[in-house]
Amino acid sequence: MAIACYSIFAHKRLQYTVGPLCLAYSINHLERMPQMIRTLLAGRVMQWFGVCSFSLYLWQQPIYYAVIEGRLPHIAGLAAAIAVGALSYYLFENPMRLYLNRKWSERRALTAPVALPVSAAEAPIV
Protein backbone atom coordinates (compact mmCIF):
# COMPACT_ATOMS: atom_id res chain seq x y z
CA MET A 1 0.00 0.00 0.00
CA ALA A 2 2.84 2.40 0.85
CA ILE A 3 4.51 1.75 -2.49
CA ALA A 4 1.25 2.59 -4.25
CA CYS A 5 0.99 5.84 -2.26
CA TYR A 6 4.42 6.93 -3.49
CA SER A 7 3.92 5.97 -7.13
CA ILE A 8 3.64 8.59 -9.86
CA PHE A 9 -0.01 7.57 -10.33
CA ALA A 10 -1.06 8.27 -6.73
CA HIS A 11 -2.60 11.51 -5.57
CA LYS A 12 0.07 13.80 -4.06
CA ARG A 13 -1.76 14.05 -0.72
CA LEU A 14 -1.37 10.29 -0.21
CA GLN A 15 2.41 10.75 -0.11
CA TYR A 16 2.04 12.93 2.98
CA THR A 17 -0.78 11.13 4.79
CA VAL A 18 -1.45 7.47 4.07
CA GLY A 19 2.03 6.64 2.71
CA PRO A 20 4.03 7.42 5.86
CA LEU A 21 1.46 5.65 8.04
CA CYS A 22 1.71 2.52 5.90
CA LEU A 23 5.51 2.63 6.02
CA ALA A 24 5.51 3.03 9.80
CA TYR A 25 3.08 0.14 10.17
CA SER A 26 5.22 -2.05 7.90
CA ILE A 27 8.41 -1.32 9.81
CA ASN A 28 6.80 -1.93 13.19
CA HIS A 29 5.39 -5.27 12.05
CA LEU A 30 8.35 -6.75 10.17
CA GLU A 31 8.42 -9.83 12.41
CA ARG A 32 4.94 -10.70 11.11
CA MET A 33 5.90 -10.43 7.44
CA PRO A 34 6.09 -13.62 5.39
CA GLN A 35 9.45 -15.38 5.56
CA MET A 36 10.08 -14.68 1.87
CA ILE A 37 9.93 -10.90 2.45
CA ARG A 38 12.14 -11.13 5.55
CA THR A 39 14.68 -13.19 3.57
CA LEU A 40 14.63 -10.59 0.78
CA LEU A 41 15.18 -7.76 3.27
CA ALA A 42 18.05 -9.66 4.93
CA GLY A 43 19.86 -10.17 1.59
CA ARG A 44 23.32 -8.75 0.88
CA VAL A 45 22.02 -6.16 -1.59
CA MET A 46 19.52 -4.75 0.90
CA GLN A 47 22.18 -4.74 3.62
CA TRP A 48 24.50 -2.79 1.32
CA PHE A 49 21.75 -0.24 0.64
CA GLY A 50 21.24 0.03 4.40
CA VAL A 51 24.93 0.69 5.02
CA CYS A 52 25.12 3.33 2.27
CA SER A 53 21.65 4.75 2.93
CA PHE A 54 22.75 8.11 4.37
CA SER A 55 25.04 8.89 1.43
CA LEU A 56 22.39 7.72 -1.01
CA TYR A 57 19.85 9.94 0.73
CA LEU A 58 22.13 12.97 0.54
CA TRP A 59 22.87 12.67 -3.16
CA GLN A 60 19.54 11.53 -4.54
CA GLN A 61 17.90 14.96 -4.28
CA PRO A 62 20.12 16.94 -6.70
CA ILE A 63 20.00 14.07 -9.18
CA TYR A 64 16.22 13.84 -8.78
CA TYR A 65 15.95 17.51 -9.75
CA ALA A 66 18.08 16.86 -12.83
CA VAL A 67 15.68 14.07 -13.81
CA ILE A 68 12.50 16.09 -13.32
CA GLU A 69 14.01 19.00 -15.28
CA GLY A 70 14.64 16.60 -18.17
CA ARG A 71 18.44 16.76 -18.07
CA LEU A 72 18.73 13.03 -17.26
CA PRO A 73 16.59 10.03 -18.20
CA HIS A 74 14.97 8.24 -15.24
CA ILE A 75 17.16 5.12 -15.39
CA ALA A 76 20.32 7.21 -15.76
CA GLY A 77 19.24 9.29 -12.75
CA LEU A 78 18.73 6.14 -10.68
CA ALA A 79 22.12 4.77 -11.71
CA ALA A 80 23.80 8.15 -11.07
CA ALA A 81 22.21 8.50 -7.62
CA ILE A 82 23.39 5.03 -6.60
CA ALA A 83 26.87 5.55 -8.07
CA VAL A 84 27.41 9.01 -6.54
CA GLY A 85 25.97 7.87 -3.19
CA ALA A 86 28.25 4.81 -3.14
CA LEU A 87 31.29 6.90 -4.05
CA SER A 88 30.40 9.38 -1.33
CA TYR A 89 30.10 6.55 1.20
CA TYR A 90 33.37 4.82 0.29
CA LEU A 91 35.48 7.92 -0.36
CA PHE A 92 34.19 10.25 2.37
CA GLU A 93 31.59 8.99 4.84
CA ASN A 94 33.17 5.67 5.82
CA PRO A 95 36.79 6.94 6.02
CA MET A 96 35.61 9.92 8.09
CA ARG A 97 33.55 7.68 10.38
CA LEU A 98 36.51 5.35 10.91
CA TYR A 99 38.85 8.30 11.57
CA LEU A 100 36.49 9.91 14.09
CA ASN A 101 35.84 6.61 15.88
CA ARG A 102 39.57 5.96 16.13
CA LYS A 103 40.30 9.47 17.45
CA TRP A 104 37.45 9.40 19.95
CA SER A 105 38.43 5.97 21.25
CA GLU A 106 42.05 7.14 21.66
CA ARG A 107 40.89 10.26 23.49
CA ARG A 108 38.54 8.23 25.67
CA ALA A 109 41.41 5.88 26.55
CA LEU A 110 43.61 8.85 27.54
CA THR A 111 40.97 10.54 29.69
CA ALA A 112 39.43 7.44 31.26
CA PRO A 113 39.72 7.37 35.02
CA VAL A 114 42.23 4.86 36.28
CA ALA A 115 41.04 2.53 39.00
CA LEU A 116 43.59 2.48 41.78
CA PRO A 117 43.87 -0.53 44.02
CA VAL A 118 42.43 0.09 47.45
CA SER A 119 43.97 -1.60 50.43
CA ALA A 120 41.72 -3.10 53.06
CA ALA A 121 42.76 -0.38 55.51
CA GLU A 122 41.75 2.43 53.13
CA ALA A 123 38.46 0.90 52.04
CA PRO A 124 35.39 2.77 53.25
CA ILE A 125 33.28 1.09 55.89
CA VAL A 126 29.79 0.39 54.64
pLDDT tens per residue, range 32-83: 989 998 899 899 999 999 999 999 999 999 999 999 999 999 999 999 999 9
Predicted TM-score (pTM) of the model is: 0.62
pLDDT band at 117, cuts 50/70/90? low
What's the distance, CA 95 to chain centroid? 16
In whole angstroms, what is the distance from residue 31 CA to residue 25 CA?
12
* Residue 1 confidence (pLDDT): 87
Task: Please compute, for residue 7, the number of CA atoms within 13 A of its CA located in the half-sphere on the CB side.
Answer: 7
- As a whole number, the mean pLDDT across the chain is 87
